Structure 1
Amino acid sequence: MSYFMYDVMGGTVDEPDSATMRRVLDGLAQADDEHPDVSLTHESGWCLSAFDDALLVWENPDEDSVTPGTMRDIAHEEVFRLFGLLAAGDIASVEALSWQR
């Protein structure tokens, strides 16, 4: 499986291990108006974007027919868990959550 992350400054991290993934997520503490999120994108096109205000966005920008979903007040550890699922290609488990569309 191939996946990559964008850190809060827009830098790309290819196939980060769990320690690197946690470091990128921890970088949300430095988020600002210009750089508000970090994201993980799977080779399938599915993407999770996490924002410092505990907003999580689930989308597939390659699929116009798929409406992005959001969740609010998501704990940092849950975001880390979901990023791990997506990195492993477990799209069904992420999609099965209660996304607001």
Structure 2
Amino acid sequence: MAYWVNHLMGNAEQNFSIDALTSLYDELAAADGEHTDVSLTHESEWCLSAFASGLVVWEKVAGDGEPKHMVRVTKEKTIELWNLLAKGSTSQIDQEPWVPGYGA
């Protein structure tokens, strides 16, 4: 399964090591009004974006369906979800307590 990450400054990277997901999350420490999130996108076009506030957004970037979110998600939980997405386990991610929309 293929996936890629989007870094805080907007550059995308394929073949990003699963072992480096902690460093991807840590980029959020430099988030500002223009650069707000980091994400992992699976080849199925499902994307999981994380924000410094603890907001996590789950959406299909192809535009199918509505986005969902959770708030106050820990770093550890975000990395766990990214790992699942990298493996293509979208149905398992869907079982989380998502709330409709993009959140605040």
What range describes the TM-score normalised by the shorter chain of this pair?
over 0.9
RMSD: 0.9
Match of 2:14 in 1: 14
Distance across 2 between alignment mates of 1:15 and 1:42: 11
Distance across 1 between alignment mates of 2:92 and 2:71: 18
Per the normalisation by structure 2, the TM-score is: 0.92
Distance across 1 between alignment mates of 2:99 and 2:15: 28
Match of 2:54 in 1: 54
Distance across 2 between alignment mates of 1:5 and 1:57: 14
Distance across 1 between alignment mates of 2:4 and 2:66: 22
Counting matched residue pairs gives 100
Unmatched 5+ stretches in structure 1: none
Cα deviation for residue 98 of structure 1 reads 1.1
Moved runs in structure 1, 4+ residues, more than 6 A?
Answer: none
Cα deviation for residue 15 of structure 1 reads 2.5
1:2-81 to structure 2, matched below 5 A, reads: 2-64=2-64, 66-81=65-80
Cα deviation for residue 61 of structure 1 reads 2.0
Between the aligned residues of both structures, percent identity stands at 39
Match of 1:87 in 2: 86
